[in-house]
Amino acid sequence: MNPFCFRKNPTNPVIEPSDFPCSIMYAFNPGAIKVGDEYLMVMDVATLAQPVVFWLARSRDGVDWKVDPEPLDWPAADHTHSEDCVYDPRVTPDPDNPGAYLLMYASSSEKTGCRLGIVRTWDFREFERIGIVSEQGNRNGVIFPEKINGKYVRLDRPFGDPNDACGIWISYSPDLIHWGCSKEVMGPRAGLWDNLKVGAGCVPIKTEKGWLNIYHGVTNTGAGLIYRLGVCLLDLEDPSIVIARGEDAVLWPEHLYELTGRVPNVVFTCNAIVEPDNSVKIYYGAADTCIGLAESSLDELLDACVRKNALVLRPL
Ligand code: BMA
Protein backbone atom coordinates (compact mmCIF):
# COMPACT_ATOMS: atom_id res chain seq x y z
CA MET A 1 0.00 0.00 0.00
CA ASN A 2 1.45 3.37 -1.02
CA PRO A 3 1.34 5.75 1.95
CA PHE A 4 1.73 8.73 -0.39
CA CYS A 5 -1.72 8.55 -1.86
CA PHE A 6 -1.57 11.99 -3.48
CA ARG A 7 0.85 12.79 -6.30
CA LYS A 8 1.56 16.48 -6.73
CA ASN A 9 1.69 17.71 -10.32
CA PRO A 10 5.30 18.37 -11.41
CA THR A 11 4.22 21.67 -12.99
CA ASN A 12 2.88 23.02 -9.68
CA PRO A 13 1.84 25.64 -8.92
CA VAL A 14 -0.77 25.40 -11.68
CA ILE A 15 -1.94 28.94 -10.91
CA GLU A 16 0.16 31.71 -9.42
CA PRO A 17 -0.26 35.48 -9.18
CA SER A 18 1.81 36.08 -12.35
CA ASP A 19 -0.85 34.17 -14.37
CA PHE A 20 -3.32 36.99 -13.85
CA PRO A 21 -4.06 39.62 -16.48
CA CYS A 22 -3.51 42.35 -13.86
CA SER A 23 -1.49 42.66 -10.68
CA ILE A 24 -2.82 40.71 -7.75
CA MET A 25 -1.07 39.61 -4.57
CA TYR A 26 -2.22 36.03 -3.93
CA ALA A 27 -4.53 33.38 -5.48
CA PHE A 28 -5.49 30.38 -3.33
CA ASN A 29 -8.10 27.97 -1.88
CA PRO A 30 -10.17 27.24 -5.00
CA GLY A 31 -13.48 25.45 -5.26
CA ALA A 32 -13.02 23.41 -8.45
CA ILE A 33 -15.51 21.36 -10.46
CA LYS A 34 -15.79 19.74 -13.86
CA VAL A 35 -18.73 20.68 -16.07
CA GLY A 36 -18.83 18.45 -19.16
CA ASP A 37 -15.27 18.54 -20.51
CA GLU A 38 -14.31 21.79 -18.85
CA TYR A 39 -12.68 22.36 -15.47
CA LEU A 40 -13.73 25.48 -13.60
CA MET A 41 -12.36 26.97 -10.45
CA VAL A 42 -13.50 29.83 -8.28
CA MET A 43 -10.58 30.98 -6.16
CA ASP A 44 -9.71 33.44 -3.42
CA VAL A 45 -7.75 36.37 -4.81
CA ALA A 46 -6.14 39.12 -2.76
CA THR A 47 -6.01 42.17 -5.03
CA LEU A 48 -3.53 44.95 -4.41
CA ALA A 49 -6.19 47.15 -2.84
CA GLN A 50 -8.78 44.91 -1.33
CA PRO A 51 -9.16 41.95 0.91
CA VAL A 52 -10.10 38.71 -0.80
CA VAL A 53 -12.50 38.53 -3.79
CA PHE A 54 -13.56 35.57 -5.94
CA TRP A 55 -12.09 35.02 -9.42
CA LEU A 56 -12.83 32.35 -12.05
CA ALA A 57 -10.42 30.29 -14.15
CA ARG A 58 -11.13 27.64 -16.80
CA SER A 59 -9.16 24.73 -18.19
CA ARG A 60 -9.59 22.02 -20.82
CA ASP A 61 -7.00 19.60 -19.40
CA GLY A 62 -6.99 20.50 -15.69
CA VAL A 63 -3.37 21.67 -15.82
CA ASP A 64 -3.28 24.74 -18.10
CA TRP A 65 -5.64 27.38 -16.77
CA LYS A 66 -6.94 30.58 -18.27
CA VAL A 67 -7.83 33.19 -15.70
CA ASP A 68 -10.78 35.55 -16.36
CA PRO A 69 -9.92 39.20 -17.06
CA GLU A 70 -11.82 40.38 -13.97
CA PRO A 71 -13.11 39.10 -10.64
CA LEU A 72 -16.57 37.54 -10.43
CA ASP A 73 -19.45 39.97 -10.53
CA TRP A 74 -20.34 39.28 -6.90
CA PRO A 75 -23.83 40.36 -5.77
CA ALA A 76 -23.93 43.27 -3.33
CA ALA A 77 -24.82 42.47 0.27
CA ASP A 78 -28.34 43.46 1.29
CA HIS A 79 -29.26 45.60 4.30
CA THR A 80 -29.26 42.59 6.67
CA HIS A 81 -25.48 42.23 6.84
CA SER A 82 -22.20 43.70 5.66
CA GLU A 83 -19.59 41.76 3.70
CA ASP A 84 -16.08 43.20 3.28
CA CYS A 85 -14.42 40.03 2.19
CA VAL A 86 -15.36 36.57 0.84
CA TYR A 87 -13.20 33.45 0.81
CA ASP A 88 -12.94 29.65 0.61
CA PRO A 89 -15.77 28.83 -1.86
CA ARG A 90 -17.07 25.25 -1.85
CA VAL A 91 -19.05 24.44 -5.00
CA THR A 92 -21.84 21.85 -4.77
CA PRO A 93 -24.23 20.77 -7.54
CA ASP A 94 -27.62 22.06 -6.36
CA PRO A 95 -29.54 18.94 -5.21
CA ASP A 96 -32.90 20.48 -6.25
CA ASN A 97 -31.94 22.24 -9.48
CA PRO A 98 -30.03 20.14 -12.00
CA GLY A 99 -27.53 22.37 -13.81
CA ALA A 100 -27.27 24.88 -10.95
CA TYR A 101 -24.53 25.12 -8.31
CA LEU A 102 -24.50 26.32 -4.73
CA LEU A 103 -21.43 28.11 -3.39
CA MET A 104 -20.98 28.09 0.35
CA TYR A 105 -18.31 30.57 1.44
CA ALA A 106 -16.93 32.56 4.35
CA SER A 107 -18.50 36.01 4.46
CA SER A 108 -16.46 38.31 6.61
CA SER A 109 -16.92 41.83 7.84
CA GLU A 110 -15.11 43.93 10.40
CA LYS A 111 -18.51 44.82 11.86
CA THR A 112 -20.15 41.42 12.04
CA GLY A 113 -17.25 38.93 12.01
CA CYS A 114 -17.10 35.78 9.90
CA ARG A 115 -20.24 33.86 8.91
CA LEU A 116 -21.28 31.40 6.22
CA GLY A 117 -23.04 32.56 3.08
CA ILE A 118 -24.70 30.69 0.21
CA VAL A 119 -25.25 31.84 -3.37
CA ARG A 120 -26.70 29.94 -6.34
CA THR A 121 -25.41 30.17 -9.90
CA TRP A 122 -26.29 28.56 -13.23
CA ASP A 123 -23.42 29.92 -15.29
CA PHE A 124 -20.71 31.27 -12.92
CA ARG A 125 -21.46 34.77 -14.26
CA GLU A 126 -24.53 35.70 -12.26
CA PHE A 127 -24.97 34.81 -8.61
CA GLU A 128 -28.20 34.87 -6.64
CA ARG A 129 -27.89 35.33 -2.90
CA ILE A 130 -29.60 32.68 -0.80
CA GLY A 131 -28.48 34.24 2.47
CA ILE A 132 -26.09 34.42 5.36
CA VAL A 133 -26.82 31.19 7.15
CA SER A 134 -24.74 30.95 10.32
CA GLU A 135 -24.05 32.80 13.50
CA GLN A 136 -20.92 34.90 13.78
CA GLY A 137 -17.79 32.76 14.19
CA ASN A 138 -18.18 30.07 11.54
CA ARG A 139 -16.38 29.09 8.33
CA ASN A 140 -15.37 26.06 6.26
CA GLY A 141 -19.00 25.35 5.35
CA VAL A 142 -19.57 22.56 2.84
CA ILE A 143 -22.98 21.50 1.47
CA PHE A 144 -23.52 17.81 0.64
CA PRO A 145 -24.37 17.13 -3.03
CA GLU A 146 -27.56 15.26 -2.06
CA LYS A 147 -30.33 15.85 0.43
CA ILE A 148 -30.39 13.21 3.18
CA ASN A 149 -33.77 12.23 4.62
CA GLY A 150 -35.29 15.16 2.74
CA LYS A 151 -32.94 17.77 4.25
CA TYR A 152 -29.96 19.74 2.97
CA VAL A 153 -26.91 18.85 5.01
CA ARG A 154 -23.78 20.85 5.68
CA LEU A 155 -20.52 20.50 7.56
CA ASP A 156 -18.92 23.57 9.08
CA ARG A 157 -16.41 24.73 11.65
CA PRO A 158 -17.74 27.03 14.36
CA PHE A 159 -15.01 28.86 16.24
CA GLY A 160 -14.57 31.14 19.21
CA ASP A 161 -11.14 32.65 19.65
CA PRO A 162 -9.26 31.97 16.37
CA ASN A 163 -6.49 30.17 18.31
CA ASP A 164 -8.85 27.82 20.17
CA ALA A 165 -9.31 24.17 19.29
CA CYS A 166 -12.29 23.51 17.01
CA GLY A 167 -13.92 20.65 15.15
CA ILE A 168 -16.26 19.72 12.31
CA TRP A 169 -19.99 20.13 12.96
CA ILE A 170 -23.06 19.04 11.00
CA SER A 171 -26.39 20.89 10.48
CA TYR A 172 -29.57 20.25 8.52
CA SER A 173 -31.99 22.51 6.67
CA PRO A 174 -35.35 22.22 4.89
CA ASP A 175 -34.72 25.28 2.69
CA LEU A 176 -30.99 26.25 2.75
CA ILE A 177 -31.88 29.26 4.94
CA HIS A 178 -32.90 27.83 8.31
CA TRP A 179 -30.32 25.40 9.74
CA GLY A 180 -30.49 23.36 12.93
CA CYS A 181 -30.08 20.01 14.76
CA SER A 182 -26.37 20.90 14.87
CA LYS A 183 -23.88 18.59 16.52
CA GLU A 184 -20.17 17.91 16.51
CA VAL A 185 -19.00 15.20 14.09
CA MET A 186 -15.31 15.06 14.95
CA GLY A 187 -12.74 17.09 16.82
CA PRO A 188 -8.97 17.42 16.95
CA ARG A 189 -6.91 14.35 18.04
CA ALA A 190 -4.34 14.66 20.78
CA GLY A 191 -0.82 13.78 19.71
CA LEU A 192 -1.50 13.65 15.95
CA TRP A 193 -1.05 16.08 13.02
CA ASP A 194 -4.62 17.39 13.50
CA ASN A 195 -4.41 18.12 17.23
CA LEU A 196 -5.59 21.77 17.22
CA LYS A 197 -8.36 22.31 14.65
CA VAL A 198 -10.13 20.24 12.03
CA GLY A 199 -12.45 21.54 9.32
CA ALA A 200 -14.26 20.03 6.36
CA GLY A 201 -12.23 20.33 3.20
CA CYS A 202 -13.86 19.18 0.02
CA VAL A 203 -17.55 18.74 -0.73
CA PRO A 204 -18.21 15.16 0.48
CA ILE A 205 -17.84 12.44 -2.16
CA LYS A 206 -20.47 9.67 -2.17
CA THR A 207 -18.91 6.18 -2.28
CA GLU A 208 -20.35 2.73 -1.58
CA LYS A 209 -18.51 2.75 1.76
CA GLY A 210 -19.69 6.15 2.96
CA TRP A 211 -19.23 9.89 2.41
CA LEU A 212 -15.54 10.51 1.85
CA ASN A 213 -14.21 13.82 3.10
CA ILE A 214 -10.74 15.23 2.55
CA TYR A 215 -10.48 17.52 5.56
CA HIS A 216 -7.89 19.95 6.89
CA GLY A 217 -6.16 19.52 10.21
CA VAL A 218 -4.06 22.09 12.01
CA THR A 219 -1.26 21.71 14.51
CA ASN A 220 0.54 24.44 16.43
CA THR A 221 4.31 24.18 16.40
CA GLY A 222 5.01 27.13 18.67
CA ALA A 223 6.58 28.83 15.64
CA GLY A 224 3.23 28.91 13.80
CA LEU A 225 0.43 26.74 12.50
CA ILE A 226 0.75 23.94 9.93
CA TYR A 227 -2.27 23.06 7.76
CA ARG A 228 -2.35 19.53 6.34
CA LEU A 229 -5.03 17.32 4.76
CA GLY A 230 -6.40 13.98 5.94
CA VAL A 231 -9.35 11.72 5.11
CA CYS A 232 -12.42 10.40 6.90
CA LEU A 233 -15.55 8.47 6.01
CA LEU A 234 -19.03 9.40 7.23
CA ASP A 235 -22.09 7.15 7.33
CA LEU A 236 -24.20 7.41 4.17
CA GLU A 237 -27.57 7.64 5.97
CA ASP A 238 -26.40 9.48 9.08
CA PRO A 239 -23.32 11.53 8.19
CA SER A 240 -22.93 12.70 11.79
CA ILE A 241 -21.37 9.24 12.37
CA VAL A 242 -17.66 8.87 11.57
CA ILE A 243 -17.10 5.34 10.22
CA ALA A 244 -13.36 5.69 9.69
CA ARG A 245 -10.62 8.30 10.03
CA GLY A 246 -7.09 7.70 8.79
CA GLU A 247 -4.26 8.39 11.19
CA ASP A 248 -1.90 9.66 8.50
CA ALA A 249 -2.01 13.04 6.84
CA VAL A 250 -2.46 12.56 3.06
CA LEU A 251 -1.10 15.93 1.87
CA TRP A 252 1.23 18.33 3.64
CA PRO A 253 3.42 21.34 2.84
CA GLU A 254 6.85 20.20 1.62
CA HIS A 255 7.85 22.34 -1.41
CA LEU A 256 8.91 25.97 -1.34
CA TYR A 257 5.61 27.17 -2.84
CA GLU A 258 3.76 25.48 0.06
CA LEU A 259 6.23 26.45 2.78
CA THR A 260 6.54 30.18 2.13
CA GLY A 261 4.07 32.90 1.21
CA ARG A 262 1.28 34.95 2.74
CA VAL A 263 0.68 32.25 5.36
CA PRO A 264 3.51 29.70 5.42
CA ASN A 265 3.04 25.93 5.77
CA VAL A 266 -0.48 25.65 4.42
CA VAL A 267 -2.20 23.22 2.06
CA PHE A 268 -5.96 23.74 1.95
CA THR A 269 -8.68 22.36 -0.33
CA CYS A 270 -12.35 23.15 -1.00
CA ASN A 271 -13.44 20.57 -3.63
CA ALA A 272 -12.37 17.26 -5.14
CA ILE A 273 -13.10 16.15 -8.70
CA VAL A 274 -13.78 12.45 -9.29
CA GLU A 275 -12.99 11.51 -12.91
CA PRO A 276 -14.82 8.73 -14.79
CA ASP A 277 -11.90 6.32 -14.08
CA ASN A 278 -12.24 7.03 -10.31
CA SER A 279 -9.06 9.07 -10.18
CA VAL A 280 -9.42 12.10 -7.92
CA LYS A 281 -8.04 15.60 -8.49
CA ILE A 282 -7.75 18.24 -5.82
CA TYR A 283 -6.71 21.81 -6.37
CA TYR A 284 -5.30 23.22 -3.19
CA GLY A 285 -4.19 26.58 -1.90
CA ALA A 286 -0.46 26.56 -1.11
CA ALA A 287 0.74 28.98 1.58
CA ASP A 288 -2.36 31.14 0.85
CA THR A 289 -0.39 32.33 -2.20
CA CYS A 290 -0.79 30.02 -5.20
CA ILE A 291 -2.61 26.84 -6.29
CA GLY A 292 -1.36 23.28 -6.68
CA LEU A 293 -2.88 20.16 -8.25
CA ALA A 294 -2.58 16.74 -6.57
CA GLU A 295 -4.01 13.46 -7.86
CA SER A 296 -5.05 10.23 -6.20
CA SER A 297 -7.77 7.62 -6.66
CA LEU A 298 -10.91 6.73 -4.76
CA ASP A 299 -9.41 3.34 -3.78
CA GLU A 300 -6.27 4.91 -2.35
CA LEU A 301 -8.25 7.51 -0.41
CA LEU A 302 -10.66 4.90 0.98
CA ASP A 303 -7.66 2.78 2.06
CA ALA A 304 -6.16 5.84 3.74
CA CYS A 305 -9.38 6.28 5.76
CA VAL A 306 -8.76 3.03 7.62
CA ARG A 307 -4.99 3.25 7.84
CA LYS A 308 -3.34 3.21 11.27
CA ASN A 309 0.21 4.43 11.69
CA ALA A 310 2.45 1.83 13.30
CA LEU A 311 4.70 4.56 14.74
CA VAL A 312 1.99 6.20 16.85
CA LEU A 313 2.62 5.65 20.55
CA ARG A 314 -0.42 3.97 22.08
CA PRO A 315 -1.21 3.39 25.75
CA LEU A 316 -0.24 -0.13 26.88
C1 BMA B 1 -8.11 29.15 7.51
C2 BMA B 1 -8.87 29.87 6.40
C3 BMA B 1 -8.18 29.64 5.07
C4 BMA B 1 -6.68 29.79 5.14
C5 BMA B 1 -6.11 29.08 6.35
C6 BMA B 1 -4.61 29.30 6.50
O7 BMA B 1 -8.68 29.45 8.75
O8 BMA B 1 -8.89 31.21 6.71
O9 BMA B 1 -8.66 30.59 4.15
O10 BMA B 1 -6.11 29.19 4.00
O11 BMA B 1 -6.78 29.54 7.50
O12 BMA B 1 -4.32 30.66 6.59
Atom of ligand 1 nearest to the CA of 263: 12
Q: pLDDT digit string (tens) for 37-72? A: 999 999 999 999 878 999 999 999 999 999 999 999
Return the best residue to mutate from 26, 85, 227 for the ligand 1 pocket (most ligand atoms within 8 A of CB): 227
Angle (CA) 97-133-170 rounded to 5° is 85
User: CA 36 to CA 186: how far, in whole Å?
Assistant: 34
Q: pLDDT digit string (tens) for 20-38? A: 999 999 999 999 999 999 9
Could you tell me if 84 and 114 are in contact, meaning their C-beta atoms sit under 8 angstroms apart?
Answer: no
- Tell me the CA distances in angstroms from 66 to 30, 56, 57, 137, one per residue in order: 14, 9, 5, 34
Q: pLDDT digit string (tens) for 87-97? A: 999 999 999 99
User: CA 212 to CA 205: how far, in whole Å?
Assistant: 5
At 187, the pLDDT band (50, 70, 90 cuts) reads very high
Q: pLDDT digit string (tens) for 227-286? A: 999 999 999 999 999 999 999 999 999 999 999 999 999 999 999 999 999 999 999 999
User: CA 219 to CA 221: how far, in whole Å?
Assistant: 6
Q: Residue 191 pLDDT more than 70?
A: yes
Decide whether any atom of ligand 1 lies within 6 Å of the 227 Cβ. Answer: yes
Going by C-alpha positions, the residue among 56, 71, 79, 12 that lies closest to residue 259 is 12
Could you tell me if 67 and 15 are in contact, meaning their C-beta atoms sit under 8 angstroms apart?
Answer: yes
Decide whether any atom of ligand 1 lies within 6 Å of the 194 Cβ. Answer: no
Could you tell me if 204 and 212 are in contact, meaning their C-beta atoms sit under 8 angstroms apart?
Answer: yes
Domains with residue ranges and CATH for the chain: 15-306 (2.115.10.20)
Q: What is the pLDDT of residue 3?
A: 62
Q: What is the sign, positive or negative, of the torsion defined by CA atoms of 45, 83, 129, 76?
A: negative
Angle (CA) 277-243-294 rounded to 5° is 35
Q: How far is the CA of 139 from the centre of ligand 1 (A)?
A: 9
Could you tell me if 194 and 227 are in contact, meaning their C-beta atoms sit under 8 angstroms apart?
Answer: no
Going by C-alpha positions, the residue among 34, 15, 16, 28 that lies closest to residue 203 is 34
DSSP designation for 88: E
Q: How far is the CA of 306 from the centre of ligand 1 (A)?
A: 27
Q: What is the pLDDT of residue 228?
A: 98
User: CA 172 to CA 149: how far, in whole Å?
Assistant: 10
Decide whether any atom of ligand 1 lies within 6 Å of the 258 Cβ. Answer: no
User: CA 299 to CA 156: how far, in whole Å?
Assistant: 26
211 vs 316: which has the higher pLDDT? 211
Q: How far is the CA of 288 from the centre of ligand 1 (A)?
A: 7
Phi, psi (deg, nearest 5) at residue 267: -125, 140
Atom of ligand 1 nearest to the CA of 266: 6
User: CA 251 to CA 269: how far, in whole Å?
Assistant: 10
Element at 301 (helix H, strand E) = helix 298-305
| 116 three-class SS | strand
- Lowest mean pLDDT across 76-80, 157-161, 168-172, 249-253: 76-80
- Tell me the CA distances in angstroms from 99 to 28, 54, 162, 208, one per residue in order: 26, 21, 37, 24
